[in-house]
Amino acid sequence: MPVEIRPSEFSMVFFDAAEIQGIVEKLVAEVGLPADVSVTVEIDETTPMGRARVASLDPILITAESGALEDVKAPRKLSEVGTLDVIGKLLFSVRDRLNPAFGDPPADDDLTLQESVAWEVFCVGRLGRLGHPVQRQRRLYQFRNRHGFTDAADAAFDRLWSAEDLTWADITSASQGALAALPA
């Protein structure tokens, strides 16, 4: 499983490419991606913004602005926990997209906010079960903001958070069910 980090040396942030590579290699194995898969993580250190996304599935390319991996209490320094969270969530979405049984979700830019948040809940829940620190309450609040502060939204969140194997249809069904329970 070759993992490449670009750039290999950072000049604007205090990141260590070898440390990031180790985190990504560990996650690739834990998430269950094929052993022969190659992953490139391209980090834009010129911006403190925090966007991270899967730019390509073949080959796997993850792009991230340095703020996505930064320690919020120590600017320009890498957060191991934050990196695990961001990259782990994206690698689970890659695994889902590569699994024919998962279904055929729209491109990331074509997802509704509700679909995107529901899928993130499913990904981060699995990451937490691997033993990585995750912020369940943060994800619940984000889910409620997009699906409503209702019992149905909480039930949908719990289903997504605790599930091991869902399909794209299951995720959209949970999201739509929560939205249907909103008062008119």
Q: What pLDDT does 1 receive?
A: 62
132 and 107 in one domain? yes
My answer on whether 53 and 108 are in the same domain is no
Q: Are residues 123 and 175 in the same domain?
A: yes
Whether residue 45 contacts residue 66, with contact meaning beta carbons closer than 8 Å, is answered with yes
Name residues whose C-beta falls within 8 Å of residue 142's C-beta, 6 or more positions apart in sequence. 117, 120
Q: Answer with the one of 98, 126, 147 that is the final residue of a domain.
A: 98
The per-residue pLDDT for 29 is: 95
Distances from the Cα of 67 to the Cαs of 59, 76, 110, in angstroms?
24, 8, 24
Q: What is the pLDDT of residues 98-132, one digit of tens each?
A: 999 999 999 999 999 999 999 999 999 999 999 99
Domain of residue 162 covers 103-180
pLDDT for residue 33? 94
Look-up of token digits 């750039």: 7
DSSP 57: E
Number of domains in the chain: 2
The verdict on 26 and 59 lying in the same domain is yes
At 65-100, the pLDDT tens digits run 999 999 999 999 999 999 999 999 999 999 999 999
- Are 82 and 117 in a shared domain? no
What is the model's pTM? Answer: 0.95
Residues 113 and 78 in one domain: no
Q: Are residues 107 and 74 in the same domain?
A: no
Interhelix angle for 113-129 vs 168-180, to 10°? 120
Asked whether residue 132 falls in the same domain as residue 161, the answer is yes
Q: Are residues 18 and 70 in the same domain?
A: yes
With cut-offs at 50, 70 and 90, classify the pLDDT of residue 184. confident
CA distance 79 to 69: 6
Q: 76 and 157: one domain?
A: no
User: Using CA atoms, how far apart are residues 19 and 16, in angstroms rounded to an integer?
Assistant: 5
Yes or no: say if 127 and 134 are a contact pair by the CB < 8 Å rule. Answer: yes
